């Protein structure tokens, strides 16, 4: 089973958007997928409850629940804001790769820098057993804040995979319990193009951990 951890201690950074759409991607590719929600608000599992039955199945997974009848091929973990210390270290050890979503604001970048410093000190990250990468969220490339985010991410030392635009389609998909990948490609062509490098990196990072 390949494990993807989506983490950032800053609330509202886009973790659930990233996690639910990743789960949707692997489900539409015919993979056995489980979505684990480690946040008290349970936003990812609420999304899963809204998911139409006709769409590819995504299993709900709880850390201490009984194992699923068939082990998932992919486990996507959506984490809580403020994930720190022992819980963070344990989650990092279990992950093949970690995606850190960041929004273009001074508050988000400040909170994320401290978190990235902690990640850089984790043994599994230093030894390249768990891979970390950054994803810009709700980015309008025409703004000064987007330029600031790009500069910040480039100086972190971690790979910068992509910047996802601030598009209404994400909010609409969340309301319906669907992912970007459940929508007709012609309607989300620009967004799918932004996701391509992220998905490519995940496949490479998880292959290296086999």
CB 80 within 8 A of CB 38: yes
Closest to 51 in 3D by CA, of 142, 181, 173: 173
Closest to 58 in 3D by CA, of 47, 66, 171, 2: 47
Kindly report, residue by residue over 9-45, the tens digit of the pLDDT: 888 899 999 999 999 999 999 999 999 988 888 999 9
What's this model's pTM, rounded to 2 decimal places? 0.94
Mean pLDDT computed over 92-116: 93
- pLDDT category, 66, cuts 50, 70, 90? low
Domains of the chain: 2-208 (3.40.50.300)
| Choice between 192 and 141, residue whose per-residue pLDDT is larger | 192
Mean pLDDT computed over 70-92: 83
pLDDT of residue 70: 79
CB 19 within 8 A of CB 44: yes
């Amino acid at each position: 089973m390949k494990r993807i951890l989506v983490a950032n201690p800053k609330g509202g950074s886009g973790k659930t958007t990233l996690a639910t759409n990743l789960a949707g991607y692997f489900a539409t590719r015919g993979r056995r997928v489980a979505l684990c929600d480690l946040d008290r608000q349970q936003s990812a599992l609420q999304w899963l409850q809204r998911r139409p039955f006709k769409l590819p199945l995504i299993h709900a997974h709880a850390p201490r629940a009984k194992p699923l009848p068939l082990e998932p091929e992919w486990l996507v973990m959506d984490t809580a804001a403020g994930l720190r210390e022992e819980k963070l270290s344990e989650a990092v050890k279990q992950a093949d790769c970690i995606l850190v979503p960041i929004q273009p604001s001074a508050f988000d970048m400040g909170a994320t820098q401290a978190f990235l410093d902690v990640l850089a000190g984790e043994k599994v990250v230093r030894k390249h057993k768990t891979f970390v990468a950054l994803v810009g969220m709700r980015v309008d490339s025409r703004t000064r804040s987007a330029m600031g985010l790009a500069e910040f991410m480039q100086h972190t030392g971690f790979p910068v995979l992509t910047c996802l635009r601030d598009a209404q389609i994400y909010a609409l998909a969340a309301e319906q319990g669907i992912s970007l990948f459940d929508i007709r490609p012609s309607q989300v062509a620009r967004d799918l193009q932004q996701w391509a490098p992220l998905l490519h990196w995940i496949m490479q990072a998880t292959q290296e951990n086999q």
